[in-house]
Amino acid sequence: MFKQLFISIFIGSITLVSCTKRVDANPLETILSSENHFIKRVMDSLSQHEVQIRYTQINRKSEAVFFTDFDFQVDKNNYFYPASTVKFPTVVTALEKINETDSLTVNTRFYIEGDTVETTFAKAVSEIFAISDNTANNRLIEFLGQDGVNNRMQQHGLVPIRISHRLSTPNADEITTKPLVIYLNDSTTATSSSIVNKIPNPLKVQKIEKGTGFYEDDSLHLGAFDFSLKNYYPIETQHSLLKRIIFPKAFSRENQFNLSEDQRMLLLEAMHTLPKSLGYDPVEYYDSYVKFLMFGDSTDPIPEHIKIYNKVGYAYGTLTDCAYIQDVKNNIDFMVTATILVNKDGVFNDNVYEYDEVGIPFLAQLGRELYQYELKRKR
């Protein structure tokens, strides 16, 4: 814990100046030409998998940090379903709203009107990153509203993004939020007002219709599945948010989130803490349960010297991981955000996806290849 706390404090305390540059030699091209089976079988049928990857090298000089980005097929106009990766901006914007509300802290107790489960904002953050809990995310959506997430992200220059629905709940598309019952002290509560959000318009991007069929109400429908009213959170925006949270002082004040240092440390701690450290069953919730890059295809413990600050998502055959990977023993760190579609039969909602056979092994090997590259890279 002390080492983790020190890392968080160190990251937040130094004064940073950044620039992002691109160079001609792209390490991703070499890595993706690997003969490794997990990489090769995806690259040999690349058109099926809609792979997008952004990898960032991190270099330092004195107290300045410099980013160098490398892309493979990254295109904000080519849609992929972001799944639970949208929980990351929901958490960050919720913490910012709490910081701007005098009556709230991360430890404030609350429940959603009509529900019986009492929680705190800090607990919701922990559950979201430890096991990607959908209910915890949806509680924060009731607190913010979909427009609240979108507007706060846009105010900090994080576009494009469109959060339009909750996750895995019957009222997912409801535009009016449920009130929160908030404990002001042990015996006094206050009820927040409902938020009425904008009705989402269909997205106008490429690959918004996918596949050859889909199941709805236990019936198979022939034709493409339409994602135009779903959440939209492309690689560029995911990766930019990660940079702002890990290295906030590398950005102008208007592009930083208004978080206290305690809030940011809470967030960083949640992002890399493993489920077993929070009391979850280590057999069901093994170390890499929600960490696909490098370790996703193994249930073995993650080495203690490697810290992964990340958020994954998987649904509708799409796997995504947005991660900052740090090796404190070898003094290396890098960022990678990657997505892959694994839906060989082209049918959505049939629960026949190649997550374990193709998608997670690809992401794990991609992470390992980048890690090995970083170990040898001259800084």
Provide the percentage of residues in the chain whose pLDDT is more than 90: 92
Q: Kindly state the average pLDDT of the residues 248-272.
A: 97
How many Å apart are CA 309 and CA 133, to the nearest integer?
17
Provide the percentage of residues in the chain whose pLDDT is more than 70: 94
* For residue 379, pLDDT beyond 90: no
Q: How many beta carbons lie within 10 A of that of residue 218, not counting itself?
A: 6
Q: Could you tell me if 297 and 290 are in contact, meaning their C-beta atoms sit under 8 angstroms apart?
A: no
Give the chain's domains with CATH numbers.
2-376 (3.40.710.10)
Query: What is the pTM for the complete model shown?
Result: 0.94
What pLDDT shows up at residue 19? 58
pLDDT digits (tens, 9 = 90+) for 200-213: 999 999 999 999 99
Q: For strands 225-226 and 209-210, give the pairing.
A: antiparallel
Q: Could you tell me if 22 and 325 are in contact, meaning their C-beta atoms sit under 8 angstroms apart?
A: no
What pLDDT shows up at residue 168? 97
Q: Kindly state the average pLDDT of the residues 176-202.
A: 97
Short-list 247, 239, 270, 267, CA closest to 11: 247
For every residue of 295-351, DSSP letters joined together read: TTT--SPPPTTEEEEEEEEEETTEEEEEEEEEETTTTEEEEEEEEEE--TT-EESSS
pLDDT digits (tens, 9 = 90+) for 136-163: 999 999 999 999 999 999 999 999 999 9
- Element at 148 (helix H, strand E): helix 146-155
* For residue 364, pLDDT beyond 70: yes
Give 3-state DSSP helix, strand, coil % of the chain, rounded to 5.
35, 20, 40
**Residues 230, 232, 238, CA angle at the centre, nearest 5°?**
145
How many Å apart are CA 152 and CA 100, to the nearest integer?
12
